[in-house]
Amino acid sequence: MRKSKSFGDHLVTILAYLFIGLFGLLCLYPLVLTLGVSLSSEREIVMHGYSAIPQKFTLNTYIYIFANSGMRILKSYGVTIFVTAAGTIGAMIITSMIAFALSIKSLKYRNVIAFLCNFTIVFSAGLIPWYVVCVNYYGLKNNILALILPSIFSVWNMFLMRTYFSSISPSLYEAAKIDGASYMLIYWRIALPLSKTAVLTVGLMYALQYWNDWWNALIFINDKDLFPLQYYLYTILSNVNAISSGRIPSGAAAGITLPSETMKMAVTVITIGPIIFLYPFVQKYFVQGIMTGAVKE
């Protein structure tokens, strides 16, 4: 016989839903505010401040961005999508392989390798030596690989994955080795499927890192055809701010007024829009990975 819920249980459930709903609205409000400001008139924003509801609805800011730089933005989207996909796949392969190797206790010099990886977190050679090595030795100046290789490995993500791999029972590896499986087969058929939580989490972190990256483009890229989306929109925003403050960049006409406040919000919407629309499709796989990790023995 099914036991009915008491009044206290119903009250707790209602309060939990109210709390989660309120928290969700608080998280959603900045996004709604950003969209509302980007669709507002610059004059109304200056006079009345920010508002989640568009003040004097207009698409002038988006028209200005795409009318002057439409094809460039589409090219930048293509560069960013390629860099995000290739970089995430490459980073996951390298990170997961190193993490798996370091999770094997019988690996020779395991602690030495882990120490050397950890050492790079605490100490670095600095920006100038890093730039010289990347440009002079790796030839990354004005190269699409300059947007991928410098960020292709994260020691923090590697240690996170190693923790998941280390939690897998060694008896599974021993049984596979008795059946003749190599370490590469164990890594591919056993370790990765049992660590979906780490794979999805670290993969999402790498993808967001590559999608939001503009620093590598600033350092290595001069060719506009290789500008990623973030950096190209950053240059548009910088020019608009320069004109608005009276500092006219080369090639810009004097005596014009541009929507600097709404421009900031429109650039934000263009940047994060694809991620917001893509996340609902990725979420179910992410949750599935979490549940797999939760019931892992």
CATH for 147: 1.10.3720.10
Tokens of 105: 């206790």
Domain of residue 157 covers 76-294
Q: What DSSP line would sit under 71-129, residue for residue?
A: HHHHHHHHHHHHHHHHHHHHHHHHHHHHHHHHH-TT-TTHHHHHHHHHHHHH----HHH
Residue 147 lies in a domain: yes
Residue 130 lies in a domain: yes
pLDDT value of residue 244: 62
**pLDDT per residue as tens, the chain (297 positions):** 455 567 777 788 888 899 989 998 888 888 888 888 888 888 888 788 788 888 788 888 888 888 877 788 888 889 999 999 999 999 999 999 999 999 998 888 998 999 988 888 888 778 888 899 889 888 899 999 999 999 999 998 998 899 889 888 888 888 899 888 899 999 999 999 888 888 888 888 899 899 989 899 999 999 888 999 888 888 877 777 766 665 555 555 444 455 667 887 888 888 887 777 767 666 665 555 444 444 444
Task: Determine the Cα–Cα distance for residues 131 and 292; give it in Å rounded to an integer.
Answer: 42
Residue 216 lies in a domain: yes
Residue 55 lies in a domain: no
Instruction: Give yes or no for a contact between 42 and 272, defined as CB atoms under 8 angstroms apart.
Output: no
pLDDT value of residue 64: 80
Residue 16 burial (C-beta neighbours within 10 Å; 0-12, 13-18, 19+): exposed
Tokens of 233: 């929109």
pLDDT value of residue 86: 95
pLDDT value of residue 210: 94
pLDDT value of residue 287: 56
Q: Which strand (E) or helix (H) includes residue 238?
A: helix 229-244
pLDDT value of residue 274: 74
The total domain count for the chain is: 1
| Residue 97 identity | M
Residues in the chain: 297
Task: Determine the Cα–Cα distance for residues 148 and 280; give it in Å rounded to an integer.
Answer: 26
Within 10 angstroms of residue 115's Cβ, the number of other Cβ atoms is: 10
Instruction: Give yes or no for a contact between 148 and 87, defined as CB atoms under 8 angstroms apart.
Output: yes
Q: Which strand (E) or helix (H) includes residue 24?
A: helix 7-38
pLDDT value of residue 126: 80
Residue 4 lies in a domain: no
Instruction: Give yes or no for a contact between 259 and 60, defined as CB atoms under 8 angstroms apart.
Output: yes
Task: Determine the Cα–Cα distance for residues 228 and 176; give it in Å rounded to an integer.
Answer: 44
Question: For the CA atoms of 47, 48, 54, 57, what is the dihedral angle to 10 degrees?
Answer: -30
Instruction: Give yes or no for a contact between 220 and 79, defined as CB atoms under 8 angstroms apart.
Output: no
Which residues are within 8 A (CB) of 41 and not within 5 positions of it... i.e. 6 or more apart? 55, 56, 58, 60, 262
Instruction: Give yes or no for a contact between 243 and 258, defined as CB atoms under 8 angstroms apart.
Output: yes
Residue 9 lies in a domain: no
Among residues 275, 297, 279, which one has the least CA distance to residue 77? 275
Task: Determine the Cα–Cα distance for residues 58 and 9; give it in Å rounded to an integer.
Answer: 49
